[in-house]
């Protein structure tokens, strides 16, 4: 049997990693890394730093696969995601077949938490369904939204109220009904700008927990264009951006 551990490593700060995650990495014979190109080398550098800092002399092997790319602005978004996941699955299975011996354990270090807007669990499920020599476990991590609210020193939800976690693509369709707080991830098109003039506060953060961290918070009407320009400049400077934000109706009781 070959085992894969999906290990949530937190949202950028090596100190976000949990004791459970450290124990999982110490069990591992192999660490799987996905190469996302030169612009994102910092992400794998952080993974290697975590191993060097916390594995206490344990030295697993490293194996790196090329990260497939999703077709951007595809007419059928769901189909493009499904195709991407199939491509990722092929890469994972190749690494497992070629680099992992029977009875060994591999770890995939997942940014944030494997359960929040990440497809690693779905991919592992698909692999497990197709072969009898494979099992997987999930180790949770601190999400980017937890890190965001901690850095802004705010609760995620208002008192007694629901909060919705969504994407920029879905937020562009309108404010979700029945909530006064919306946490947004994967917003490539600055969807918050459509809500200017509606009495909202925004708590935005990019590269949270890293040395490149940027935090901006306050009335959306005053900050929307500043956030958009800051975001564009950061993306240009680093070649990529990882950000999230919370929108809240002003006057909502935290």
pLDDT tens-place string over residues 2-22: 999 999 999 989 999 999 999
Q: What is the DSSP string of 124-152?
A: HHHHHHH-SSEEEEEE----HHHHHHHHH
71 inside domain: yes
**Could you give the 3-state DSSP secondary structure of residue 118?**
coil
Task: Examine residue 52 and state whether it is found in any structural domain, yes or no.
Answer: yes
Query: What does the block give as tokens for 108?
Result: 């995939």
CA distance 165 to 173: 14
Q: Name which of 66-75, 99-108, 234-243 the model is least confident about.
A: 66-75
Residues 28 and 66 in one domain: yes
Same domain, 24 and 74: yes
Distance separating alpha carbons of residues 254 and 43, to the nearest angstrom: 33
172/131 same-domain check: no
- Write out the two tokens for 111: 């940014």
- Confidence (pLDDT) at 246: 98
What's the pLDDT band for 74 if we cut at 50, 70, 90?
low
Residue 249: strand, helix, or coil: strand
Name the average pLDDT for the chain.
Answer: 91
Residues 168 and 188 reside in one and the same domain = yes
- pTM of the shown model: 0.89
Q: Which of 111, 139, 167 is the last residue of a domain?
A: 139
Q: Do 171 and 187 share a domain, yes or no?
A: yes
Question: Quick check: is 192 in a domain?
Answer: yes
Per-residue pLDDT at 85: 85
Compute the distance between CA of residue 153 and CA of residue 183 in angstroms, rounded to an integer: 15
Residue 179 covered by a domain? yes
- Taking alpha carbons only, the member of 31, 1, 5 closest to residue 120 is 5
Question: Which residue segment(s) compose the domain that 62 sits in?
Answer: 2-139
Last residue of a domain, one of 91, 106, 139: 139
Assigned domain for 34 exists: yes
User: Strands of 181-185's sheet, edge to edge?
Assistant: 163-167, 181-185, 243-249, 200-206, 214-219
At residue 34, the pLDDT reads 85
Has residue 254 been placed in a domain? no
Reference 145, options 126, 164, 119, 124; nearest CA is 164
Identify how many contiguous H helices and E strands the chain contains and give both numbers: 7, 10
CA dist 110 and 123 (Å) reads: 13
Q: Is residue 32 domain-shared with residue 131, that is, in the same domain?
A: yes
**3-class DSSP assignment, residue 30:** strand
Q: Under DSSP, is residue 129 helix (H, G, I), strand (E, B) or coil?
A: helix
Asked if residue 222 is part of any domain, the answer here is yes
Domain assignment present for 193: yes
CATH value at residue 165 = 3.30.950.10
Query: Which range has the worst mean pLDDT, 57-61, 146-150, 224-228?
Result: 57-61
- Which of 139, 166, 186 delimits the end of a domain? 139
Say yes or no to pLDDT of 72 above 80.
no
- Total domains in the fold of the chain: 2
pLDDT band per the 50, 70, 90 thresholds, residue 84:
confident
Tokens of 48: 């290697």
CATH of the domain at 17: 3.40.1010.10
**Res. 207: pLDDT tops 60:** yes
């Amino acid at each position: 049997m070959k085992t894969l551990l999906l290990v949530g490593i937190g949202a950028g700060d090596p100190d976000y990693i949990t004791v459970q995650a450290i124990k999982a990495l110490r069990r591992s014979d192999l660490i799987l890394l996905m190469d996302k190109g030169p612009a994102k080398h910092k992400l794998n550098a952080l993974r290697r730093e975590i191993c060097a800092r916390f594995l206490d002399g344990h030295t697993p092997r490293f194996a790196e696969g090329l990260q497939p790319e999703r077709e951007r602005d595809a007419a059928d978004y769901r189909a493009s995601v499904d195709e991407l996941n199939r491509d990722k699955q092929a890469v994972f299975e190749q690494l497992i077949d070629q680099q992992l011996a029977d009875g060994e354990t591999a770890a995939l270090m997942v940014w944030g938490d494997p359960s929040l807007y990440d497809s690693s669990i779905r991919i592992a499920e698909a692999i497990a369904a197709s072969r009898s020599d494979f099992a997987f476990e999930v180790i949770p991590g601190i999400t980017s939204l937890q890190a965001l609210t901690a850095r802004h020193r705010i609760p995620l939800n208002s008192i007694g109220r629901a909060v919705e976690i969504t994407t920029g693509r879905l937020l562009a369709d309108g404010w979700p009904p029945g909530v006064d707080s919306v946490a947004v991830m994967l917003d490539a098109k600055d969807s918050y700008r459509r809500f200017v003039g509606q009495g909202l506060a925004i708590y935005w953060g990019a590269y949270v927990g890293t040395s490149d961290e940027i935090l901006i918070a306050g009335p959306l009407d005053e900050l929307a264009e500043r956030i958009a320009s800051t975001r564009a400049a950061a993306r240009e400077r680093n070649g990529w951006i990882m950000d999230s934000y919370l929108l809240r109706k002003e006057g909502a009781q935290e």
